[in-house]
């Protein structure tokens, strides 16, 4: 099913691989306008208020807690990618931070100089399996994505083992922490985000370009450092999808 959905999104021959394939631009711009409205009226003021009210140390602890709960998902995706080294290193980091680090509120793994977590997701897994990124999509609330990553987001909802091991209400702690961390980031990086959404000549085009470049770097081994890169160094032609040719 994954291969079928991803393979059907091949760009036309006239499409430049350095650019995001955007056949849904009209509807994407409508969603972008909706997301701008939600951000202006709800997310932006909530994020600024949250960041101003919450002490930095607590914000950092909540962010570490949320990220730690996502590591089992990374372990599963590393296994699916055949990256057993990444799966092992992520497992050790999760074990150390979940015990010594009090469920991830602290980060003793970094102090012990353990490798950074790969933060692998199913969108990266599809890339490793050979799936194209497909067309650019802007999702309501979530924001910039593409067809491959949209499918990956859905699958990742079911690939974290903790969601099956924890009972209610504990199973929702990660979601609450992730939302809190997102509000914290919106407040902390308000100037940068505002410059993209409200100060650029074309905020839609700017967001699309930044997302596409950053995401292609990630799936080729950027932030997920343990991912093998079958192509060139990650900074070479970062806006090119090697499968979209």
- Where do the domains of the chain lie? 61-219
pLDDT at 6: 46
pLDDT beyond 50 at 230: no
The upper half-sphere exposure of residue 243, i.e. CA atoms within 13 Å in the direction of its Cβ, equals: 23
* C-alpha span between 144 and 177 (Å, rounded): 22
Write down the mean pLDDT value for the chain: 85
- pLDDT tens for 87-127 read 999 999 999 999 999 999 999 999 999 999 999 999 999 99
pLDDT at 127: 95
Q: Is the C-alpha dihedral spanning 163, 96, 59, 188 positive or negative? A: negative
- pLDDT tens for 147-203 read 999 999 999 988 888 877 777 776 778 888 889 999 999 999 999 999 999 999 999
- Burial (CB count <10 Å: 0-12, 13-18, 19+), residue 239: middle
Which residue is associated with the tokens 């994505």?
145
Residue 12 — very low, low, confident or very high, per pLDDT cuts 50/70/90? low
Instruction: Answer for the pair 241, 127: CB distance below 8 angstroms, yes or no.
Output: no
pLDDT at 161: 85
The upper half-sphere exposure of residue 26, i.e. CA atoms within 13 Å in the direction of its Cβ, equals: 0
Can you give the pTM of this predicted structure? 0.80
* C-alpha span between 45 and 11 (Å, rounded): 39
Long-range CB pairs of 204-211, under 8 A, 24+ apart, other chains included: 204/28, 204/29, 204/32, 204/138, 207/32, 207/138, 207/143, 207/144, 208/20, 208/22, 208/28, 208/136, 208/138, 208/144, 209/20, 209/239, 211/143, 211/144, 211/145
Cα 12 versus chain centre, distance = 27
* C-alpha span between 138 and 79 (Å, rounded): 29
């Amino acid at each position: 099913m994954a291969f079928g959905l991803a393979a059907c999104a091949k760009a036309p021959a006239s499409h430049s691989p350095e650019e995001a394939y955007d056949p849904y631009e009209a509807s994407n711009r409508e969603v972008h306008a909706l997301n701008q409205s939600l951000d202006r009226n709800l997310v932006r003021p909530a994020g600024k208020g949250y960041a101003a009210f919450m002490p930095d140390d607590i914000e950092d602890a909540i962010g570490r807690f949320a990220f730690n709960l996502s590591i089992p998902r990374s372990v599963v995706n590393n296994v699916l990618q055949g990256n057993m080294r990444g799966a092992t290193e992520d497992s050790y980091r999760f074990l150390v931070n979940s015990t010594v680090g009090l469920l991830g509120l602290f980060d003793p793994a970094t102090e012990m100089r353990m490798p950074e977590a790969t933060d692998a997701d199913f969108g990266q897994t599809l890339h490793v399996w050979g799936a194209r990124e497909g067309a650019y999509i802007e999702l309501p609330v979530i924001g910039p994505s593409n067809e491959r990553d949209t499918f990956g987001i859905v699958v990742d909802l079911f690939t974290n083992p903790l969601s099956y091991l924890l009972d209610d209400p504990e199973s929702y702690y990660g979601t609450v922490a992730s939302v809190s961390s997102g509000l914290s980031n919106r407040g902390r990086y308000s100037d940068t985000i505002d410059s993209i959404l409200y100060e650029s000549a074309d905020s839609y085009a700017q967001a699309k370009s930044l997302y596409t470049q950053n995401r292609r770097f990630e799936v080729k081994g950027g932030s997920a450092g343990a991912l093998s890169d079958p192509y060139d160094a990650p900074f070479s032609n970062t806006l090119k999808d090697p499968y979209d040719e």
